[in-house]
Amino acid sequence: CVLPFLYSCPEPCVVVDFKSENARLTSAFRRKKFGHRQVLLDPFRVMTQTPDTLNVLDMIDENSPLAIDDCMALAKAMVVRPPEEKETHWSDSAEAILTAQISLAVRYGKREKGTRSLQDVAKFVSNPKLFDSSLVLMAESDAWGGMLSRLGGSIMYYADKEKNSV
């Protein structure tokens, strides 16, 4: 059902293809017949040794007045909340910390140096020394009308045990 569709449909398609069978069989044909550019997100390099990549932070415009809102939306998407959550403090705190760290990466990370990705966010969240230095940078920042400074300042109030638990 999938292969005949991919061989005949002239419209662009998004295909979830875990084993890369469909891409292997149809990508050259679709490129030649329909002129479609193939985008292969292949983190395990099943299909290609040079896969395309998707950096969600590149979709956030650091000059937008809504950048912090975009960072917050990404953080909310990353935090999995239990279905019957009774105590929201931990999930809310995780979202706040992720929002702040994502915002820091968006504002101060450099695309060309490869320091503006979720990998960088993970590096700062998982290293206590980097985390504390990031809070100092946030507190001194005037980015987005002082919003980044306020985010960092609010996280500085967490006690060490609480911060580590979050």
**Residue 11: both structure tokens together:** 């419209």
Q: Rounded CA gap, 104 and 55, in Å?
A: 15
pLDDT digits (tens, 9 = 90+) for 14-37: 888 888 899 999 999 999 999 998
Question: What pTM did the predictor assign?
Answer: 0.76
Q: In this structure, what token pair is assigned to residue 67?
A: 């950048």
Q: How far apart are the first and last CA of the chain?
A: 46
Smallest CA-to-CA distance from 68 within 99, 105, 94 is with 99
Question: What digits encode the pLDDT tens for the residues 46-59?
Answer: 888 988 888 899 99
Q: How far apart are CA 32 and CA 38, in angstroms?
A: 11
